[in-house]
Structure 1
Amino acid sequence: MDHAHKRVYPVDANPSTGMEPPPPYPPKYVMLQDSQGSIRPPPYRRNIPRYHSNHHKSGGGSCCMRCICCFCCSLFILIFVVATLAFYFYAVFQPRVPSYTVDSFATNAFNMQPDFSLYTEFVVTVKADNPNSNIGFNYGKDSSVMVAYQDSTLCNGQLPAFHQGHKNITMIKVVLKGKSEFGSGLQEALMENRHTGRIPLNVIVKVPVGIVIGTFPLRRFTVRVICALVVDNLSPNKKTQIVSNSCVPYIQL
């Protein structure tokens, strides 16, 4: 009976902690003998840190983008300022292109030579009309005036240098002289035009012009005027009448 009522108490495996010891961790790898045909695991390698250049690229790209943005902003501001000044100039001064025409044409000499050359002397009066109220023009010295017949130059002259003020009409008288080599064909065509009373001529004027606003001279440009004339005769002892007159100015910057 005493043996039947005897109690059994559990015994601690580790008296110091009162808990069973944990099972041992399995090794990461097992070294086996070469005879067992096993392969030795590779030794541990140290991982080399990798450095990426994204930081440097992003920094350079952002700097480049800032430069592009600054350039675009500066260009926009410059265009805006220039457009504002141009609009102000046009609104205040209201610039208009001067008009040019041939007012009169006179013949002093028209002599045919036996060697098919022609000596001519004409007096051409050019009318320059400046319609601007606040803008004047300075006409320079390096000018040229010529009279041509069928792309052949008859004579040449030069405009005098002068200043044209506001709302001004100026008459410029130019004397043109020259000797040209004409073939028999051109002489016959010219004589036929003289008999019909309709002689086509071209008066070509080229002159440097400077803009003057108030008392301040601005930039210069070149005005080229081509006038297509038809006159009734080229006789020295007879008044020459202009039958038709059409002038077109061209501005060369």
Structure 2
Amino acid sequence: MAERVLSPDSGDGDVPNNSQIQPVSHPKQNNQLADFRSGTYVVQVPKDQVYRVPNAENALIAEQRRKQSHDRKNKPYCSCCCCAASVIVVVLVLLGLAVGLSFIFLKNKDPKFSVANLIAVNGSNSKAKDLRPDYRLTLKAVNSNKRVGILYKEGGVVSLSFRKQEIAVGKYPTFFHDHKNTTTLNLVLHGSNVALPKEIKDSMKSEKSKVHVLFALKMKLLARTKVWNLKTGNKEFGVDCNVMVDTLAKGTRVLSQECRTKGKH
């Protein structure tokens, strides 16, 4: 409540002394206060108008999360690149290995053979007409390859002929012929069921006067080439030799020989 202050000079005698001045009320403001009620209110503020400064710890955590999110976005791309690079490297290595092995296998040398000795045994003193002696054959096999070994398989056949007539046959042994290696083989060829030529009989029985005999030796060999632990498919070697001996009796000696080897895949 406000009091009215009278001026001493005021000449207004119509106003009583005990009059009071009432405050002026504002209807609009009173209505607003009347409408406000207590309760829970949700105040929404636009996100772009929120400003705050986080402390150092919260700022560090936020930065780490931001980096992790960025790394996750880039990780699939990096993984794809790494996988693609790995596949390319593996393919190139396999291609190089295949080319190298193909070169080694295709350029390998065929084995070489030579006859060291040939002698007839059994029945040398027999007078039977159906004489069928066995023949002891000493071979030298040479594998001159630097890296390729040769695995001889079962089924190899060796035959001895005189004037295009087969007189003995035998089996070639199964063994692994290592690279840069020379192996001596002792074979036994069993006489075939054919009439023995007169020249062979004479060469077997002659001790003083030696009778030279020319033979044809043929071999059909089944093998596989091998480099380290890698093996190729089956391969066939055909060997043809012309061998002349001074006698088929004791003390025989090879006078001349010529052997040729031809490999077939």
Q: 1:126 to 1:246 in 2, by over 3 A?
A: same
- 2:239 alignment partner in structure 1: 225
| Partners of 1:110 and 1:234 within 8 A in 2 | no
| Identity %, equivalent residues | 19
Alignment of 1:134-153 (within 5 A): 134-153=147-166
Q: Is 2:261 the counterpart of 1:249?
A: yes
One-letter identity of the residue aligned with 2:228 = G
The one-character-per-residue Cα deviations of 1:98-140 (angstroms, maximum 9, x if unpaired) are: 211112222223557654x331111111211111111111001
Query: 2:57 maps to what in 1?
Result: none
Q: Which structure 1 segments of 5+ residues have no match?
A: 1-81
Moved more, 95-104 or 208-217: 95-104
Residues 91, 139 of structure 1: alpha-carbon distance in 2 compared, 3 angstrom cutoff: closer
Distance 1:202 1:139 in 2: 22
Matched, 1:124 2:132: no
Partner amino acid, structure 2, of 1:242? V
**Alpha-carbon offset, residue 251 of structure 1:** 2.0
Q: 1:92 to 1:221 in 2, by over 3 A?
A: closer
* Larger Cα-atom Rg: 2
**Structure 2 residue corresponding to 1:106, chosen from 107, 111, 119:** 119
SS of residue matched to 1:180: coil
Distance in 1, matches of 2:146 and 2:221, equals 22
Q: Identify the residue that residue 215 of structure 2 maps to in structure 1.
A: 201
Q: Is the 8 A contact 1:93 1:133 kept in 2?
A: no
Asked if 2 retains the 8 angstrom alpha-carbon contact of 1:207 and 1:223, the reply is yes
Normalising by the residue count of structure 1, what TM-score does the alignment of the two structures yield?
Answer: 0.57
Q: CA RMSD in A?
A: 2.9
Q: Which has the higher strand share?
A: 1
Per-residue CA distance 1:197-242 (angstroms, 9 max, x = gap): 320111111110101011111111111111100001112xx12100
Q: Distance in 2 between matches of 1:159 and 1:120?
A: 19
Query: Given the superposition, is the C-alpha separation of residues 92 and 114 from structure 1 closer, same or farther in structure 2, using an over 3 Å criterion?
Result: closer
The answer to whether the Cα contact below 8 Å between 1:136 and 1:163 also exists between their aligned partners in 2 is yes
Taking the aligned partners of 2:218 and 2:127, their CA distance within structure 1 comes to 25
Which amino acid is 2:252 matched to?
T
Secondary structure at 2:122 match in 1: strand
* Residues 230, 242 of structure 1: 8 Å contact kept: yes
Instruction: Answer yes or no: is the 8 Å Cα contact 2:104–2:148 preserved in 1.
Output: no
Residue type matched to 1:210 in 2? R
Q: In the alignment, is the contact (CA less than 8 A) between 1:106 and 1:124 conserved in 2?
A: yes
